Amino acid sequence: MPQALADFINYGANVAFWASVSFFFLTSLVWPWWRSFWGVNIIALEGALGLALLPFIMSYDFGVHIVSSLVFAWVEGVSLWLIGVIIVWRGFLVVSQQLRGAGVNLPGAAQSAARLAVLRKRSRAREDDESSAADSPRKG
């Protein structure tokens, strides 16, 4: 392989690795990504991409011999599976978003969370009514 091509690949892998690793930290400063399925999906994919590039970075940048390493083989295998699973998950997010935009209501976590918040609010209101009724003197 020509040295220019090897350098091109190495620099590209470094840019992709460090971008995916730093994306988590920099994004966390300005966006509460953990509050939405989309945010968790985006961060998970960035993490899986960084994990997939880790053996390459360890080998080319730090000289770690990864060809015979069972640990790095598992890291590579798990990260590649994670990338596929996360992309399929993203597909489900896109389809459910499109269906909701078309007026189709899918029971999902957001709707469940909203229903749970309403039920909690009603429960607190009932408790407040019961406690205020117990505290007030009876007429009669």
If pLDDT is split at 50, 70 and 90, which confidence band does 111 have? low
Sort 53 into a burial class: Cβ within 10 Å, 0-12 / 13-18 / 19+: buried
Q: What is the pLDDT of residue 18?
A: 96
Q: Is the pLDDT of residue 9 over 70?
A: yes
pLDDT average, residue stretch 15-34: 94
Give the helix ranges, DSSP H, for 31-108.
Answer: 37-62, 70-101
Q: Is the pLDDT of residue 12 over 60?
A: yes
If pLDDT is split at 50, 70 and 90, which confidence band does 87 have? very high
If pLDDT is split at 50, 70 and 90, which confidence band does 129 have? confident
pLDDT average, residue stretch 46-67: 89
User: Long-range CB contacts (< 8 A, 24+ apart) of 61-70?
Assistant: 61/10, 61/14
For tokens 């229903």, the residue is 115
d(CA 62, CA 45): 24
Q: Which of 5-14, 23-32, 48-57, 122-131 has the lowest mean pLDDT?
A: 122-131
If pLDDT is split at 50, 70 and 90, which confidence band does 60 have? confident
- Written as one letter, the residue type at 17 is F
Pick the more confident residue, 45 or 1.
Answer: 45
Q: Is the pLDDT of residue 8 over 70?
A: yes
Cα torsion through 71, 76, 82, 87, rounded to 10? 170
**3-class DSSP state of 85:** helix
